[in-house]
């Protein structure tokens, strides 16, 4: 996959990518299948919502059981360059890569919830995300 | 040679499939009806021609009486409904015997899948799927709210560990089988997973229950397959080249312990070969059941390509680096449709369909040139393995 010049995409872990830290308002990691509307099965999180987070300065990406290559392909189809893609078990590595005030993982299974807890991410079910009020989210993570 | 009077006497003359998906947005019954109608049309027949019907029950597969009414089949002189872990090839054997014995002339058999909460965590949010699971009693396993509750796969993890211990192999041995499945699925429009993976992808996939990772397990899907069978004489008057059942056998033994040298799989294959005029070197298409990666590797060994524990070395030896898949002797693909690990978990229905499609010469870019003989297996372990050899006849 061609990621584009100046891309901030990092595949975690990836020894070939410089390990410089990126600073953002917060890190929001999404599961894909059952979580994103482009997942299989589709989930409730819309592309517009992700655009909104990006515009507010959030670091966004996916942590999924899909391979990093598949995740990048999905992002490319959406026309979005994510800040990271990682395997579901690598949330802790994502946390180590970015400096932010908050770290959130959104997923539709208790496996997501478990890995989020291990990596000290706040966890949200996708159906609890306030899609209609994105400016306030994630003010009060569950 | 063992007595086998039904050899080459019954043919598959129609196949139908909905294709597989993670969420097709339809009920299991709807999918089954769709596949059955396709199979009957494919055979050049009408519902009124069907005289037997066989339900390959798996999770919420609709019962044969319901399907007979839904499809408008007026009369059946033979029917079979099965509960529990009944792989597709076992039901094929029942249908073949029913036709050979004269209980029915034309049999419709079908298998419908439904991604249930007990199989898939992401399905647990769908109230319709939850309700369906509550009524199914999947595979005799106590109902569970989520797929991560230890249950069905525990025995398979034990067997997989035993295999690694005795073969002194590594997880890469299973990785080759999984990569092969995903590569082959790319060319199958019915498959749910159509992106290839690498060994790195396999080895870094999430571990579910060591040594079994996510990619070692077949993919829960929605979808249905159906098959129409009749006598070989009747088959010659129908549109497609008949694909006959040459030899078929179940295999079950009375010792449930993890003895890799004496399993139901060994027996099913031995019995199948004893009833066959065909030998392993005659096989053009090999379609081993792969509900779990290691079961596919073990079938590779059981049918005789190599000895127990040598599957990994065999796959390395017959690996096509340019095509990223197994090609036995440079020409025989393994699960050319992607198998349960690539196309989607179908309890062997995908293997049967691919055998028919290949032997008809209708597999498109997947076609094995000149294929006339196929070997398919289903089931695993001790309780439900089966093997079948198909041949195409003019």
* ipTM value: 0.81
**Better-predicted residue by pLDDT, A20 or B125:** B125
Q: B323 — contact with chain A (CB < 8 Å)?
A: no
Contact list, A34 vs chain B (CB under 8 Å): 122, 125
Q: Is the pLDDT of residue B3 over 50?
A: yes
- For residue A69, the distance in angstroms to the closest alpha carbon of chain B comes to 9
Yes or no: say if B265 and B302 are a contact pair by the CB < 8 Å rule: yes
**Which residues face B80 on adjacent strands?**
B54
Contacts 24+ apart (CB under 8 A), B254-261: B255/B382, B256/B382, B256/B383, B258/B158, B258/B159, B258/B162, B260/B159, B260/B162, B260/B163, B260/B166, B260/B298, B260/B308, B260/B309, B261/B308
Residue with tokens 């209708």: B362
pLDDT, tens only, B148-206:
545 567 778 888 999 999 999 999 999 999 999 999 999 999 999 999 999 999 999 99
- Cα torsion B376, B379, B382, B384: sign: negative
Q: Is the pLDDT of residue A3 over 80?
A: no
pLDDT, tens only, B242-252:
999 999 999 98
CB contact under 8 A, A34 and B204: no
pLDDT tier, B60 (very low <50, low <70, confident <90, very high otherwise): confident
Yes or no: say if A124 and A134 are a contact pair by the CB < 8 Å rule: no
What percent of chain B is modeled with pLDDT above 90? 74
**Which residues face B247 on adjacent strands?**
B389
Q: Is the pLDDT of residue A17 over 60?
A: no
Q: B77 — contact with chain A (CB < 8 Å)?
A: no
Yes or no: say if B315 and B293 are a contact pair by the CB < 8 Å rule: no
**How many pairs of residues across A and B have Cβ atoms under 8 Å apart?**
44
Out of B121, B148, B201, the one facing A67 most closely (by C-beta) is B201
Residue B59, phi-psi category: left (phi > 0), alpha (psi -120 to 50), beta (remainder): left
Residue with tokens 């909460």: B117
pLDDT, tens only, A104-142:
999 998 889 999 999 999 999 999 998 887 777 886 544
Residue with tokens 């229905």: B349
CB contact under 8 A, A109 and B124: yes
SS3 B112: strand
- For residue A68, the distance in angstroms to the closest alpha carbon of chain B comes to 8
pLDDT tier, B98 (very low <50, low <70, confident <90, very high otherwise): very high
The mean pLDDT of B254-279, rounded to a whole number, is: 88
Contact list, A70 vs chain B (CB under 8 Å): 195
Q: B122 — contact with chain A (CB < 8 Å)?
A: yes
CB contact under 8 A, A41 and B22: yes
User: Which residues are CB-contacts of A6 (< 8 A; sequence separation ≥ 6)?
Assistant: none
pLDDT, tens only, B194-215:
999 999 999 999 998 899 999 9
CB contact under 8 A, A108 and B125: yes
pLDDT, tens only, B229-243:
999 999 999 999 999
pTM, two decimals, is 0.90
Q: Is the pLDDT of residue B33 over 60?
A: yes
Q: Is the pLDDT of residue B119 over 80?
A: no
pLDDT at A6: 37
pLDDT at A18: 45
Out of A42, A87, A109, the one facing B204 most closely (by C-beta) is A87
Alpha carbon distance B252, B383 (integer Å): 6
User: Which residues are CB-contacts of B362 (< 8 A; sequence separation ≥ 6)?
Assistant: none
């Amino acid at each position: 996959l061609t990621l584009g010049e100046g891309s901030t995409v990092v595949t975690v872990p990836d020894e070939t990518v410089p390990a410089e830290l990126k600073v953002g308002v917060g890190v929001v990691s999404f599961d894909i299948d059952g979580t994103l509307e482009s997942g299989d099965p589709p989930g409730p999180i819309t592309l517009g919502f992700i655009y909104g987070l990006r515009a507010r300065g959030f670091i966004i990406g996916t942590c999924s059981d899909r391979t990093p290559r598949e995740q990048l392909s999905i992002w490319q189809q959406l026309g979005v360059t994510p800040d990271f893609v990682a395997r579901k078990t690598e949330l802790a590595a994502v946390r180590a890569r970015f400096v932010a005030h908050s770290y959130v993982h959104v997923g539709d299974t208790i496996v997501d919830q478990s890995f989020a807890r291990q990596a000290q991410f706040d966890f949200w079910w996708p159906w609890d995300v306030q899609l209609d009020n994105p400016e306030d989210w994630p003010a009060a993570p569950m | 040679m063992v007595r086998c009077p039904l050899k080459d006497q019954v043919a598959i003359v129609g196949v139908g499939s909905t294709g597989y998906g993670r969420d097709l947005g339809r009920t299991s019954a709807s999918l089954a009806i769709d596949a059955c109608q396709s199979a009957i049309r494919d055979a050049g027949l009408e519902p009124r021609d069907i005289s037997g019907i066989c339900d390959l029950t798996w999770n919420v597969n609709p019962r044969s009486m319901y399907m007979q009414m839904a499809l408008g089949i007026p009369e059946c002189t033979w029917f079979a409904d099965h509960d529990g872990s009944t792989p597709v090839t076992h039901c094929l054997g029942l249908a073949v015997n029913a036709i050979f014995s004269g209980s029915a002339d034309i049999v419709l058999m079908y298998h419908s899948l439904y991604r249930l909460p007990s199989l898939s965590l992401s399905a647990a949010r769908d109230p319709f799927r939850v309700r369906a699971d509550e009524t199914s009693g999947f595979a005799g396993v106590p109902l569970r709210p989520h797929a991560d509750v230890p249950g069905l796969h525990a025995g398979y993890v034990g067997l997989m560990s035993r295999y690694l211990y005795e073969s002194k192999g590594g997880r890469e041995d299973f990785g080759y089988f999984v990569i092969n499945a995903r590569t082959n699925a790319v060319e199958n429009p019915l498959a749910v997973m159509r992106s290839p993976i690498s060994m790195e992808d396999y080895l870094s996939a999430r571990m579910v229950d060591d040594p079994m990772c996510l990619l070692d397990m077949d993919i829960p899907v929605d979808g249905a397959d159906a098959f129409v069978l009749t006598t070989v004489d009747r088959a010659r008057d129908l549109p497609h080249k008949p694909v006959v059942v040459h030899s078929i056998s179940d295999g079950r033994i009375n010792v449930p312990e993890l003895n890799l040298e004496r399993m139901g799989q060994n027996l099913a294959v031995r019995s199948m070969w004893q009833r066959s005029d065909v030998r392993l070197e005659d096989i053009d298409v090999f379609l081993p059941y792969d509900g779990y990666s290691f079961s596919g590797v073990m079938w590779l060994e059981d049918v005789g390509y190599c000895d127990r524990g040598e599957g990994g070395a065999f796959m390395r030896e017959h690996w096509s680096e340019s095509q990223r898949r197994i090609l036995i002797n440079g020409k025989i693909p393994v699960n050319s449709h992607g198998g349960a690990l690539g196309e989607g978990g179908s309890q062997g229905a995908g293997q049967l369909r691919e055998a028919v499609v290949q032997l008809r010469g209708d597999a498109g870019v997947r076609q094995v040139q000149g294929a006339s003989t196929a070997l398919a297996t289903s089931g695993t372990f001790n309780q439900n393995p089966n093997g079948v050899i198909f041949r195409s006849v003019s």
